[in-house]
């Protein structure tokens, strides 16, 4: 590996730009929206039974777009019931955006928000030290388990916080996605960073099986338009390539042989489909629902 290659996570503002570009070019949020509309009402059907307050814990809530969708579904299911929504998010920038979104969103009167600027493991340690483990009716972890050091311990801890009829919703890239194949084939040749693990739904369901935790797994199709990656000097393409490889300025720092191999593979059927002149990377998502 060329020494000039460095992890995308070493440059926070570049990472944020790449992530935004990924959201612009993928059906990630539309895929999540489809799940929230079709599947979530059934999943949360009993979480608030006979309760005067519903307690929801968002782990890695980001800027809150998906969180507010979840909350709106809970409001429909339990009209007028008070909701206590606590958010664990390590990025001050994301928390600020979340608060802005809440400020300009109507119909949130019955929801109390609290934000904690910390990682899931920092939250876990704080709770263990206080020895006041609170029970939750719904916990969700959306696209965040890649950033957790000890995933089985994290799953076990949050599972222990579930109240009667409670659920945990985990969203993570599917084992059928192009991500899994990309990480498996090229992971050892790309700059690794302790901040991020190559983990998919396949790894996660194996961990849950080992822990003896009951769950259901749903896969939904999602794509990312990576056509710009094949246009020399295209800024959008460069950002998407950085996101795909988790490498800062991949285009200008990767060894030519590695770059050629990845660019060729990204157009192969196991990674992407070609449709109407576009190259669509397989960004399939898994939605894992864990039961109390």
Question: Which residues are annotated as part of the binding site for substrate?
Answer: 28, 283
Strand partners, 142: 171
Q: Which residues of 114-150 are buried (b: 16+ CB within 10 A; e: fewer)?
A: ebbeebbbebbeeeeeeeeeeebbbbbbbbbbbbbee
**Residue at token pair 């920092």:** 122
Q: What are phi and psi of 204, to 5 degrees?
A: -65, -45
**Strands of 202-245, DSSP E:** 215-220, 223-225
Q: Which amino acids are annotated as binding site for S-adenosyl-L-methionine, given as ranges? A: 60, 89, 94, 120, 142
CA dihedral 209, 211, 216, 220 (to 10 degrees): -80
- Residues with Cβ < 8 Å from 13, sequence gap 6 or more? none
**Contact in structure between 135 and 163 (CB atoms under 8 Å):** yes
Residue 98, class by beta-carbon neighbours within 10 Å (0-12 exposed, 13-18 middle, 19+ buried)? buried
Question: Going by DSSP bridges, is the β-strand pair 136-142/53-59 parallel, antiparallel, or unpaired?
Answer: parallel
Q: Which amino acids are annotated as binding site, given as ranges? A: 28, 60, 89, 94, 120, 142, 283
For the chain, first and last CA: distance in Å?
Answer: 45
């Amino acid at each position: 590996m060329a020494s000039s290659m460095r992890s995308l996570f070493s440059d926070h503002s570049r990472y944020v730009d790449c992530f935004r570009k990924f959201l612009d070019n993928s059906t990630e949020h539309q895929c999540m929206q489809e799940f929230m509309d079709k599947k979530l009402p059934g999943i949360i059907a009993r979480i608030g039974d006979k309760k005067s307050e519903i307690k929801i814990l968002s782990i890695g809530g980001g800027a809150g777009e998906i969180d507010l969708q979840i909350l709106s579904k809970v409001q429909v299911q339990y009209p007028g019931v008070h909701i206590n929504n606590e958010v664990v998010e390590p990025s001050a920038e994301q928390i600020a955006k979340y608060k802005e979104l809440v400020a300009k969103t109507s119909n949130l009167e019955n929801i109390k928000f609290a934000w904690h600027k910390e990682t899931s493991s920092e939250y876990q340690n704080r709770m263990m030290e206080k020895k006041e483990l609170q029970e939750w009716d719904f916990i969700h972890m959306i696209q965040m388990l890649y950033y957790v050091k000890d995933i089985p311990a994290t799953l076990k801890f949050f599972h222990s916080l579930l109240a009667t009829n409670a659920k945990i919703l985990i969203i993570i890239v599917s084992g059928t996605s192009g991500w899994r194949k990309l990480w498996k084939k090229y992971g050892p040749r790309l700059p690794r960073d302790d901040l991020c693990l190559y983990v998919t739904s396949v790894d996660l369901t194996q961990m849950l099986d080992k822990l003896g935790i009951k769950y259901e797994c749903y896969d939904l199709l999602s794509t990312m338009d990576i056509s710009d990656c094949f246009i020399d000097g295209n800024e959008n393409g460069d950002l998407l390539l950085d996101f795909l490889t988790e490498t800062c300025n991949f285009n200008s720092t990767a060894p030519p042989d590695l770059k050629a191999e990845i660019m060729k593979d990204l157009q192969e059927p196991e990674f992407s489909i070609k449709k109407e002149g576009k190259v669509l990377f397989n960004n399939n998502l898994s939605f894992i629902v864990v039961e109390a």
